Amino acid sequence: MKKQFPHQFIAIEGNIGAGKTTLCKMIERDHGAQLILEQFTDNPFLPYFYKNPERYAFQVELFFMTERHKQLQGTLSQRSLFQEFTVSDYFFIKTLLFAKNNLIDEEYRLFQRLFNVLNTTFRKPDLLVYLHRPVEDLMKNIKRRGRKFEKDIKPEYLQSLQNAYFDYFRTVTDIPVLIIDIEGCDFWKKKKYYKQIIKLINSEEYTLGVQHRKIKMKVQV
């Protein structure tokens, strides 16, 4: 039997190109996790948003919010799943962070009201893991994977998202947060980096028994 993590529900977060989906798939493969992956390619507004963000920001964010809510509600409401270990490549708060970064004030106030209603309908993760990379690393990964709709992403946009995440981490008090600096670490290629990440996530130190604590670690290269 595969060794289970000391958490029932872990959300892996990170900027665009950080490697969160890759890590989740590796955890599913090696540890038998129940997997939740964001279906971002289904958003019909995303290619238009990267070309003209001012025009399409509200549409793209509203679509993401409703789709994420539907997916999480449908999966996490099945209590039998929590007899297993569940890992997701996003946390619902991501919806609000991206919206705040992308929307004008009037749109964001409306969006936030809708988000607050939806956010009360399912549980939060037992551990939030954030994979941190510098913007230069993110741009290389985005270019390497070659998604056509991402070709217009600018470094300034990635930096603004990174700032939004860290602003949020300074305020979160209800779940433990593990920030792992993986600069220069291609954990999907080199097993030693992957093992170090798993060891950090698997630590009893980051269970809900440790409240109101944020951890910043660095995977050594």
The first and second tokens of residue 203, run together, are 């630590």
Q: How many Cβ atoms from other residues are within 10 Å of residue 181's Cβ?
A: 17
The first and second tokens of residue 163, run together, are 């700032």
* pLDDT band (50, 70, 90) for residue 202: confident
Buried (b) or exposed (e) across 105-129, using 16+ Cβ within 10 A?
A: eeebeebeeebeebbeeeebbbbbb
* pTM of the predicted protein model: 0.87
Domains of the chain, start order: 9-218 (3.40.50.300)
Q: What is the mean pLDDT of the segment spanning 49-67?
A: 93
Q: What is the mean pLDDT of the segment spanning 104-128?
A: 92
Q: What is the pLDDT of residues 8-32, one digit of tens each?
A: 899 999 999 999 999 999 999 998 8
